[in-house]
């Protein structure tokens, strides 16, 4: 019997490829990343399964070219790059990788909070550029304490909740906003207080974003919101870049409308050396590494393969969106 055809828009761990090769006829894109649209358009016509990444846009037009496609398995928790309602219409299963990356991403959010507030990366750059000339002055490289400050968590899903657990040990006040208020017992266990989105903007000393990128959250953080935030506030984003209007953030950081930011995601990735954020010192930049630990990335690969296997045998992936 002819093996099913699986296409990967980028390579995965060797153990995952080994498993895929046993079962399927696989092809891996090895050229430019993200895969150019015309190459994917051509490949998608004949394949049964697709393994993709969060920057591969799988929209209606792309899916309509697919004659046999049964499953799209994305190596990410985010699925805003896939037109889910169209996949449902076409009865294409969509698998994704939540849960396994919760700890890694929450830990990175917390790392960015500490880094930007204690100016670690900024200091590192100063030392490396040979500009550390005097030691231990009263006003040198002073950061901000965490204890007593208010952390505002926007989106209390898995990652937002885990961040709350981490922060509890730092004697901070935690407020949150979520589409749906969580149970009183969960609020008590995490030591968190529900507030309106507006209050979260105005009362937080640090805002950490943990909502998906949707029509409602697109460019949610713009100049109007920055003006509502405390001048001393920090903004942390490990969710999706497009939730922040980057142009407005650059201007808010330059004008000190807010105190600083820690960013793992950007409107368009990767950002180059001429990006306006590069020249700003009160921002810590990470190259989209929320889930990037050895253990987490391996788990993600395992789930991506499992989701694909299930979809190709006509079953629902273990982590499935829509159909
Ligand atoms: C995801 O899985 O969507 C993350 O952005 C990857 O770090």
Work out the average pLDDT over 135-152: 94
Q: What is the pTM of this model?
A: 0.96
Confidence at residue 55, expressed as pLDDT on a 0 to 100 scale: 95
Q: Tell me how far the alpha carbon of residue 315 lies from the centroid of ligand 1, in angstroms.
A: 24
Work out the average pLDDT over 67-87: 97
| 290 C-beta closer than 6 A to ligand 1 | yes
Provide the residue ranges of all domains of the chain, joining segments of one domain with +.
Answer: 5-99+295-312, 102-285
Give the span between the Cα atoms of 278 and 110, in whole angstroms.
21
Give the span between the Cα atoms of 288 and 271, in whole angstroms.
10
Q: What is the pLDDT of residues 268-319, one digit of tens each?
A: 999 999 999 999 999 999 999 999 999 999 999 999 999 999 999 999 999 9
Architecture field, domain 102-285: 3-Layer(aba) Sandwich (3.40)
Ligand 1 nearest atom to the CA of residue 96, by list position:
2
| Whether the domain at 5-99+295-312 and the domain at 102-285 fall into the same CATH topology | yes
pLDDT at residue 222 is higher than 80 = yes
pLDDT band at 135 (very low <50, low <70, confident <90, very high): confident
Within 8 A by CB and 6+ apart from 234, the residues are: 113, 116, 117, 205, 206, 207, 258, 259, 260, 261, 262
- For 5-99+295-312, the fitting CATH number among 3.40.50.720, 3.90.1150.10, 3.30.300.30, 3.30.565.10 is 3.40.50.720
Q: What is the pLDDT of residues 231-271, one digit of tens each?
A: 999 999 999 999 999 999 999 999 999 999 999 999 999 99
Confidence at residue 134, expressed as pLDDT on a 0 to 100 scale: 87
Active site residue 288: yes
Q: What is the pLDDT of residues 174-213, one digit of tens each?
A: 999 999 999 999 999 999 999 999 999 999 999 999 999 9
Confidence at residue 1, expressed as pLDDT on a 0 to 100 scale: 81
Angle between helices 102-118 and 158-168 (to 10 degrees): 50
| 291 C-beta closer than 6 A to ligand 1 | yes
User: Which candidate in 288, 295, 298, 302 is catalytic?
Assistant: 288
How far, rounded to the nearest angstrom, does the alpha carbon of residue 296 sit from its chain's CA centroid? 14
Confidence at residue 278, expressed as pLDDT on a 0 to 100 scale: 97
222 in Cβ contact with 250 (< 8 Å)? no
% of the chain exceeding 90 in pLDDT: 97
Confidence at residue 27, expressed as pLDDT on a 0 to 100 scale: 98
Asked which of 102-106, 165-169, 251-255 is least confident by mean pLDDT, the reply is 165-169
Ligand 1 nearest atom to the CA of residue 101, by list position:
2
Active site residue 210: no
| 76 C-beta closer than 6 A to ligand 1 | yes
User: Which candidate in 93, 240, 246, 297 is catalytic?
Assistant: 240
pLDDT at residue 323 is higher than 80 = no
Look-up: residue for tokens 């002055």? 137
Active site residue 13: no
260 in Cβ contact with 116 (< 8 Å)? yes
Q: Tell me how far the alpha carbon of residue 119 lies from the centroid of ligand 1, in angstroms.
A: 25
DSSP string for 160-175: HHHHHHHHHTTT-EEE
| 296 C-beta closer than 6 A to ligand 1 | no
Q: Tell me how far the alpha carbon of residue 128 lies from the centroid of ligand 1, in angstroms.
A: 30
Helix (H) or strand (E) holding 309: helix 294-312
Give the span between the Cα atoms of 52 and 266, in whole angstroms.
19
| 54 C-beta closer than 6 A to ligand 1 | yes
pLDDT at residue 74 is higher than 80 = yes
Q: What is the pLDDT of residues 9-66, one digit of tens each?
A: 999 999 999 999 999 999 999 999 999 999 999 999 999 999 999 999 999 999 999 9
């Amino acid at each position: 019997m002819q093996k099913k055809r699986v296409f990967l828009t980028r390579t995965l761990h060797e153990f995952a490829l080994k498993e895929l090769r046993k079962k399927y006829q696989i092809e891996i894109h090895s050229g430019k990343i993200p895969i150019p649209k015309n190459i994917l358009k051509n490949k998608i016509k004949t394949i049964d399964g697709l393994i993709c990444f969060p920057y591969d846009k799988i929209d209606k037009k792309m899916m309509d070219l697919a004659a046999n496609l049964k499953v799209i398995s994305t190596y990410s928790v985010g699925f805003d790059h896939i037109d889910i309602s169209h996949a449902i219409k076409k009865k294409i299963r969509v698998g994704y990788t939540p849960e396994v990356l919760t700890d890694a991403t929450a830990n990175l959010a917390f790392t960015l909070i500490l880094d930007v507030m204690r100016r670690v990366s900024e200091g590192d750059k100063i030392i490396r550029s040979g500009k550390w000339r005097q030691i231990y002055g009263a006003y040198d490289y002073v950061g901000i304490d965490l204890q007593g400050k208010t952390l505002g968590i926007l989106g209390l899903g898995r990652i937002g909740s885990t961040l709350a657990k981490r922060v509890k040990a730092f004697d901070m006040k935690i407020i949150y906003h979520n589409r749906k208020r969580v149970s009183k017992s969960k609020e008590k266990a995490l030591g968190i207080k529900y507030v309106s989105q507006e209050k979260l903007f105005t009362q937080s000393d640090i805002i950490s974003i943990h909502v998906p990128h949707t029509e409602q959250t697109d460019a949610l953080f713009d100049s109007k919101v920055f003006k509502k935030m405390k001048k001393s506030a920090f903004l942390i984003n490990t969710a999706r870049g497009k939730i922040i209007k980057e142009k407005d953030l650059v201007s808010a950081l330059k004008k000190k409308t807010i105190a600083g930011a820690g960013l793992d995601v950007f409107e368009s990735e990767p950002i180059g050396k001429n990006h306006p954020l590069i020249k700003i010192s009160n921002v810590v930049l990470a190259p989209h590494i929320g889930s990037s630990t050895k253990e987490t990335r391996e788990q993600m690969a395992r789930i991506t393969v499992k989701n694909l296997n299930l979809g190709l045998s006509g079953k629902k992936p273990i982590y499935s969106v829509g159909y």
